[in-house]
Amino acid sequence: MRPATREEEDAIIGFFDGMDPSVFGRVAGPHRLAIVERDGIQFVALATDLALRLPPEVLAGADAGGLPIGTFEDGTFHLDLQGAVLAARHTKAQSVRLNEHAARLFLYGRNALATSVEGHDPSLEKGDACIVTNPRGECVGIGVVVGSFKGTKEAVRPVVDLGTYLRDQDE
């Protein structure tokens, strides 16, 4: 585990600024960005200053630490499910709010129909990734916009949802 470099911080904060210019500060709070490398993957985590001040020999051997919020690949930050859960608490940007029934179905990997959408960020377009929430604004997953929010056809397809872990355990 190590502190994020200035370039990594800029890319990560830039991602959140693209959603909502004030959301990163609310998501991170007093925590700092850290990079945890494991199995060739750079995980982005929120860590305390105290954790990042541990002796270098301790940090060098840490393959986990902090609260993971995404991954960093080829200079690009990718939000993961935990990061989406945190972001959904602080912004409606890049999000789609489903009715209760559709949110439950989304947790089982089902697509969301336009008739199930109670609200959405008007800037979302086909192909955009989005945070999918239930009527209370709680994140249930990350999806991709695949159709119009008007009409009766499919609007959002799940990429990953909170039910994925449970379904994977059944296999």
Radius of gyration in angstroms for the set of CA atoms belonging to the chain, rounded to a whole number: 17
Is 164's pLDDT higher than 90? no
> Rounded to whole angstroms, how far apart are CA atoms 168 and 48?
31
Is 83 strand, coil or helix? helix
What band does 169 get if pLDDT is binned at 50, 70 and 90?
Answer: low
Is 140's pLDDT higher than 80? yes
Residue carrying structure tokens 């954790």? 51
Domain check: are 78 and 114 in the same one?
no
Domain check: are 50 and 121 in the same one?
no
Which one, of 110, 16, 140, lies nearest residue 69 by Cα?
16
- pLDDT tens for 67-115 read 999 999 988 999 999 999 999 999 999 999 999 999 999 999 999 999 9
Domain check: are 147 and 76 in the same one?
no
Percent of the chain at pLDDT exceeding 70: 96
pLDDT at 168: 72
What band does 64 get if pLDDT is binned at 50, 70 and 90?
Answer: confident
**What is the total count of domains within the chain?**
2
pLDDT at 56: 87
Q: Which of 32, 67, 88 is the last residue of a domain?
A: 88
Q: What distances in angstroms separate CA 12 from CA 1, 5, 17, 47, 156, one per listed residue?
A: 17, 11, 9, 14, 25
pLDDT at 2: 92
| Mean pLDDT, range 38-51, rounded to an integer | 93
State which residues form the domain around 51: 2-88
Mean pLDDT of all residues belonging to the chain = 92
| Mean pLDDT, range 40-54, rounded to an integer | 93
Q: What is the CATH number of the domain that holds 133?
A: 2.30.130.10
